[in-house]
């Protein structure tokens, strides 16, 4: 597990994907940069991304990524405030270079 700082995020993007720096630096809010970098990190390294305030309620062994190598996994969650479903970017997994994140 690694916790990424804002400085490390920008350095990673500058080193590996410098063509995207103008977009990244142009975001008016830092949370937009935080949201964007997770896609670059998953595309580059693969693995599991999970927000620090997200909790597992059962083993990750039950998740599709463990049973189906090469599959990108996102979470479909029900919003409590309104009765609709949304794809969350609070928990994602994928192998490196998965086309979903390209």
Q: Residue 9 belongs to what H/E stretch?
A: helix 6-16
pLDDT in 10s for each residue of the chain, 102 residues: 788 899 999 999 999 999 999 999 999 999 999 999 999 999 999 888 888 887 777 777 776 555 556 666 666 555 565 556 667 788 888 889 988 888
pLDDT recorded at residue 56: 74
- pTM of the full predicted structure? 0.77
**Cβ-based neighbours of 83, under 8 Å, separated by 6 or more:** none
47-82: b (≥16 Cβ within 10 Å) or e: bebbeeeeeeeeeeeebebeeeeeebbeeeeeeeee
Whole-angstrom distance, CA of residue 44 vs CA of residue 85: 28
As beta bridge partners, residue 91 has 50
Residues 45, 2 contacting (CB under 8 angstroms) = no
């Amino acid at each position: 597990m690694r916790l990424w700082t804002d400085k490390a995020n920008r350095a990673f993007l500058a080193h590996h994907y410098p063509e995207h720096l103008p977009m990244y630096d142009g975001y008016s809010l830092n949370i937009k940069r935080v949201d964007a970098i997770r896609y670059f990190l998953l595309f580059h390294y693969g693995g599991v991304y999970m927000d620090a305030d997200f909790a597992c309620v059962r083993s990750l062994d039950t998740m599709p990524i463990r049973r189906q190598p090469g599959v990108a996994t996102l979470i479909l969650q029900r919003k409590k405030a309104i009765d609709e479903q949304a794809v969350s970017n609070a928990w994602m997994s994928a192998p490196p270079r998965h086309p979903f994140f390209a």
